[in-house]
């Protein structure tokens, strides 16, 4: 099976989509041939050694843009002009899986790839946040999304990452009046299991409240920061630890507030993008987590927290609510300043409730990324070719 990693193999970013794409490449192993669309050669090809090395390395963070070294651009241009042997796709093309939101350039080249694959051709669908919360989404993403949702119609099947995401896609196609569309299945994501038993947080110091996720408008960090400041003003002792990249297009207000709180001496820290070892340490050392996002396609940090036996304060609605309903979460609706302050304060003051939620989290079966890869490929094998 071909696995399209056009963007993931050329970025050092580690968003949720990149985590899913990398996980599929790792968990499917020899079952897949990773490929990309080379915009310089203007053709689809197998990933080269330098691209595979980038997938194997720990992401260093940074911008989300794809980066192509000068030598790779030159090699692609030479192949396009017939001055270098042109790389190609493998002869074995038993199927195609696209786990990324493809760019306009890749979308324009998709028909040739779809036509070259006789087996099932499926794409992963994440969410419709760009349409539902356009004011909290970068303008370029909002402009791109309607075309992307229509381009998904060319596949044999779409794997939505939650029931909520599935419903959003079907509702959009129904609103367009699409008479015929590929089947859409809700196949929930899995997480990387903890590498060992997660130790309890250090009882000797103030408890740490952890929030993992990109700082961007819809993640609602501004409300989280204001809620924590309200609690600090009331005398609560705790540290707020934020882990995740900053998306400047929509995170300006939250970042300014974070800087103001740090200047005022509030115990808040921002670690940015971290590797897996530091992320595991962050989960291990926290008392509980908070995921204040207003809307998600899934909400991986909630599942990651629960897999490590850590309670999570989060929304009880939408895709995040699908995960929260299994136990271990204290839900907040609406996810606003008063609600977050009340829930965080409640867990800070009530150790027995924290332990009850932690016990619920520990009792839940962990759905791993390997489980997700298995279920996704098994579903793909049931798909008939549509055209």
Q: Which domains does the chain have, with CATH numbers?
A: 2-190+369-380 (3.40.50), 208-363 (3.40.50.2000)
Confidence class for position 15, pLDDT limits 50, 70, 90 = confident
Of 330, 323, 331, the C-alpha closest to 307 is 323
Give CA–CA dist 93/197, Å, rounded: 41
Winning range, highest mean pLDDT, from 55-59, 135-139, 181-185, 244-248 = 181-185
**Confidence check: pLDDT of 253 > 90:** yes
**pLDDT score of 59:** 59
**pLDDT score of 199:** 55
**Confidence check: pLDDT of 200 > 70:** no
CB 313 within 8 A of CB 344: yes
Question: How distant, in Å, are the alpha carbons of 49, 65, 127 from that of 104?
Answer: 26, 14, 18
SS3 331: strand
Average pLDDT of span 319-331: 96
**Confidence check: pLDDT of 62 > 60:** no
Provide the edge-to-edge strand list for the sheet that holds 312-314: 268-270, 239-243, 208-212, 288-291, 312-314, 329-331
> What digits encode the pLDDT tens for the residues 211-245?
999 999 999 999 999 999 999 999 999 999 999 98
């Amino acid at each position: 099976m071909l696995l399209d990693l056009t963007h993931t193999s050329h970025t050092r970013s580690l968003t949720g989509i990149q985590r899913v794409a990398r996980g599929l490449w790792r968990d499917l192993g020899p079952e897949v041939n990773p490929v990309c669309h080379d915009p310089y050669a203007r053709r689809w090809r197998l990933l080269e050694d330098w691209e595979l090395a980038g997938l194997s390395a720990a992401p260093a963070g940074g911008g989300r843009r794809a980066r192509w070294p000068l030598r790779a651009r030159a090699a692609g241009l030479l192949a396009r002009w017939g001055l270098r042997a042109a790389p190609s796709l493998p002869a074995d093309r038993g199927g195609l899986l696209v786990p990324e939101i493809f760019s306009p350039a890749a979308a324009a080249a998709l028909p040739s790839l779809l036509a070259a694959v006789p087996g099932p051709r499926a794409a992963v669908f994440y969410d419709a946040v760009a349409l539902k919360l356009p004011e909290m989404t970068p303008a370029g993403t909002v402009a791109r999304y309607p075309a992307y949702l229509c381009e998904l119609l060319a596949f044999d099947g779409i794997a939505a990452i939650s029931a909520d995401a599935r419903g959003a896609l079907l509702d959009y196609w129904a609103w367009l009046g699409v008479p015929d569309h590929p089947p859409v299945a809700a196949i929930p994501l899995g997480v990387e299991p903890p590498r060992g038993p997660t130790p309890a947080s250090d009882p000797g110091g103030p408890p740490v409240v952890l929030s993992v996720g990109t700082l961007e408008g819809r993640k609602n960090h501004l409300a989280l920061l204001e809620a924590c400041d309200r609690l600090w003003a009331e005398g609560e002792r705790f540290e707020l630890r934020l882990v995740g990249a900053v998306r400047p297009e929509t995170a300006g207000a939250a970042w300014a507030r974070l800087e103001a709180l740090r200047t005022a001496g509030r115990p808040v820290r921002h670690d940015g993008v971290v590797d897996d070892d530091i992320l595991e340490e962050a989960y291990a050392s926290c008392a509980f987590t908070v995921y204040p996002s207003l809307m998600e396609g899934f909400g991986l940090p909630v599942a990651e927290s629960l897999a490590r036996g850590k309670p999570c304060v989060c929304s009880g609605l939408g895709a995040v609510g699908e995960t929260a309903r299994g136990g271990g979460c204290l839900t907040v609706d609406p996810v606003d300043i008063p609600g977050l302050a009340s829930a965080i304060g409640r867990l800070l003051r009530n150790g027995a409730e924290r332990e009850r939620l932690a016990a619920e989290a520990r009792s839940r079966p962990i759905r791993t990324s390997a489980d997700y890869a298995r279920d996704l490929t098994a579903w793909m094998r049931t798909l008939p070719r549509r055209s």
